[in-house]
Structure 1
């Protein structure tokens, strides 16, 4: 695998300014919390009715996980963010999915408990804070992989013909066939088997008894295949090109935000942008920066990108990954080719090759596909113009017939 995860435990003590450097801007990307499975396999004894809110919904454990993460962020950025919620300082965006929207809300409850005049009910330690989103079919920033990219689909087809993929398929051929028979799935493959692991994992987390065939060894093998399935999405084969078509879009936006905060005489008021999304979102971003560790990001995992201004006026970027709430501090993440405290200029140069220059062109989206709306609009206008001309022709013909049969009648009283 091309990517590697250069992280190590770091005892990180945060302060607004240490005399040498000042925190200027923070990007927070996290996965939603614990949830019900997104679907069941055909022979699954537990179906959607067995889950309180159905499939793919945030559980109370997931709410607690994000409330705790909100508390962590509050403590970490004390002195950077105002103690009270200030709308100009923070912007929160989520995918338009129940579990990510709810995770963002639970997170904000831990990050900004109401104080003083913010309290509108004495018995309620919560205040409403806006979470922004766009419809799923318009989401190009946080919901990966983006499916409307022909070149990406072509790369995935090529990935399935690569040696590493074929070797993995051959190694687990009998196991995959066994899973197919036990689950009743018509089609089981490395790309789809993650859902079996996800369903069984969710059920086990919520105390549901697994079928007899689901042994610890089976779960271990399913986990291996699941992680490999995640790796091939944006890595393993032609990683850089895949990333330009996927996670590079998010990285590009993050870089724009960082650059705006680092601009000379910047008047930017926003100090923190928070993205509430999915495991594949974190995966896509980490692969784009070549720091993915090969493991599915767990619930409420959080990737932090911090911009600092040094004493000499230059800027640097530091990254941290929190994937274990039992560890007091997050792991420091080093961009390959740079130190953990990476100069901003180096950070931009090292990530430049995975930033798309023209996403639609690189995706090989045909002109016909991109101009569909224009073509439809022209066709509609053409039809309306034709009807208008036809109506005008009918009116003119009718008037001509009236003129041909016209005679002047003199009023007798006038004579």
Structure 2
């Protein structure tokens, strides 16, 4: 009884206002802090051997144990290349180490995670430049006529001729010289001795031209239209994923989506976003999209780029938008580089007119041919029967 009385006395002493406040607090919705809802990662594959060697390269494919274009480290959508598939698998192995029942073997700290890909011939999302696209090729031809491209060609003409002579490549241009730099860079990275003509100054110039070749592919001339035909295709899919992730009614939406691709993929995307820094994306560099739900329930997008192993990713800010770019504003700003009908926009505007012109010219040509044949026939007969000439029979000759 004494203990019971004491408990009742403590209960009576609880202030009523405190209980009321506690009840009201429990009835109110819990305040939501800013939360990360969805992440998209696009990264370049890791270290690899060269894609190919130049004709006079002392290190041909036999010098690389794993062959050309392969990862040298063993380290989900992916393009259909060994180096990007292996990079995806290596990243997944680090992200998802097995635990408890996932350990199917005590000696193997790995579990299988699916990596999705499509055949290279069918890739229309991650491998750039996308083709066939006649309008894009037309834009590239126009880019070759720009003052920037012409001046760069004149500036580096002697250097390109030297590279052609040293490498054995017959036609080295601003667009193809990147492969020479790529090969030499891979060989240098793997501590192979470079030819004597490959001085530090030569490597610097090759790197500058390699960076220019990326700008040529996706910029310099009519960047926005090129983006609609190239990097905007990938950006369109990323926008759809962000929208789905922000939709509460979307069932079982992914929390993270990873793309394992190439340096040209990153450049094409960043050109479309107008955040490209003008330099090739190094191995394993990663463009990050983060979708947040703010305190007020609205959504925002942040972008980061990680291109150095020893440093944190640095902020990428979409032009005309703040760091925490509202999702709706992100969609509005990027709308100009999104194509609604890629195949139609890839057509050259005058295609139908050209077809009609070809038909007309064909008909006119046929008529002209027939008239020419008729005229030649008339002339031939005229020469066979000249004016004033009459055939004389043998009877008339005897009478004469």
Q: TM-score range by the shorter chain?
A: 0.7 to 0.9
1:357 and 2:370 correspond: no
Of residues 281, 290, 295 in structure 2, which corresponds to 1:311? 295
1:113 and 2:97 correspond: yes
Residue aligned with 1:202, SS: helix
Aligned to 2:234: 250
Aligned to 1:205: 189
Deviations 1:70-128 (A, max 9, x none): xxxxxxxxxxxxxxxxxxxxxx2100111000000011111111011100010111111
Following superposition, the deviation at residue 23 of structure 1 comes to 0.7
Deviations 1:188-209 (A, max 9, x none): 0000000000000000001110
Of residues 193, 196, 200 in structure 2, which corresponds to 1:216? 200
Residue aligned with 1:276, SS: strand
1:334 and 2:347 correspond: no
Following superposition, the deviation at residue 19 of structure 1 comes to 5.5
1:51 and 2:64 correspond: yes
- Give the root-mean-square deviation of aligned CA atoms: 1.7
Aligned to 1:137: 121
Residues 95 and 277, structure 1, Cα contact 8 Å, conserved in 2: yes
| Counterpart-to-counterpart distance in 2, 1:55 and 1:284 | 24
| Counterpart-to-counterpart distance in 2, 1:366 and 1:207 | 51
Residues 244 and 253, structure 2, Cα contact 8 Å, conserved in 1: no
| Counterpart-to-counterpart distance in 1, 2:225 and 2:189 | 37
**CA 1:366 to 1:59, structure 2 compared with 1: closer, same or farther past 3 Å?**
farther
Residue aligned with 1:250, SS: helix
| Counterpart-to-counterpart distance in 2, 1:129 and 1:358 | 34
Mind listing any 5+ residue stretches in structure 1 that lack a counterpart? Answer: 1-17, 65-91, 369-415
Residue aligned with 2:291, SS: strand
Higher relative contact order (CA 8 A, sep 6+): 1
Mind listing any 5+ residue stretches in structure 2 that lack a counterpart? Answer: 1-30, 352-400
Q: What count of residue pairs does the alignment treat as equivalent? A: 322
Which structure carries more helix by proportion? Answer: 2
| Counterpart-to-counterpart distance in 2, 1:341 and 1:235 | 27
Of residues 117, 142, 148 in structure 2, which corresponds to 1:158? 142
Residues 283 and 292, structure 1, Cα contact 8 Å, conserved in 2: yes
Residues 234 and 287, structure 1, Cα contact 8 Å, conserved in 2: yes
Deviations 1:11-31 (A, max 9, x none): xxxxxxx95311111101000
Q: How high is the TM-score relative to the length of structure 2?
A: 0.79
Deviations 1:137-168 (A, max 9, x none): 11100000012101111111111110101111
